[in-house]
Amino acid sequence: MFWLGERKMNYKIRKIKISDYKKVKKIYLSSFIEKNRFPIIKLLVNVVLKRADVFVLSIEKDIISFLYSINYNDESFILYLAVKEDYRNLGIGTHLLDWYLKTNCNKEIYLNIDEVNKKYSDYELRKKRLNFYLKNNFYNTNYISVYGDSIGNILSNKINFDPEKYKLLDKKISRWFLCPEDEIMKS
């Protein structure tokens, strides 16, 4: 339960169902720019093959947030965390992320965010995103991931980051999503 404005709201977190697909797709498409989105079919194939999970947070049967994670051994990579536009900045992403971290406390969990650098016109948004994850138990690894013209800061829930271990996971993910491996380097 959490407060949504002046009302106490009951929420539920569960794995996605087939009937949720359209609602999650709508949040996905409205939350990520095209260059940061994988084709839906690749995302679904990896869920069907049990390489990835999608968890949804709903309030009164309305899906308002989702988290897409890729799993491999004792590691997990959060590829997407999104909240429906009308519900942003209310702590919902924090609830879902906190639940995920507690549920997977024995795993090393990674994620990438757009590089936080003053050279970008949306620097303040990128910095806000970084601060959100730092506030929610992630650490800046001081490594970046380069994929074409996309550069991302690599974050981890563990303070001791092993770039070689991360590279192996990235290699696996790249194979599963049929895309080139990222170049990983010190920032």
Reported pTM: 0.93
Q: Domains plus CATH for the chain?
A: 2-186 (3.40.630.30)
- Cα 143 to Cα 161: distance, rounded to the nearest angstrom: 9
Q: Which of 59, 47, 53 is nearest to 11 (CA)?
A: 59
Q: Render pLDDT for 135-185 as a digit per residue (tens, 0 to 9).
A: 999 999 999 999 888 899 999 999 999 999 999 999 999 999 999 899 999
- pLDDT for 51-64, tens place per residue? 999 999 999 889 99
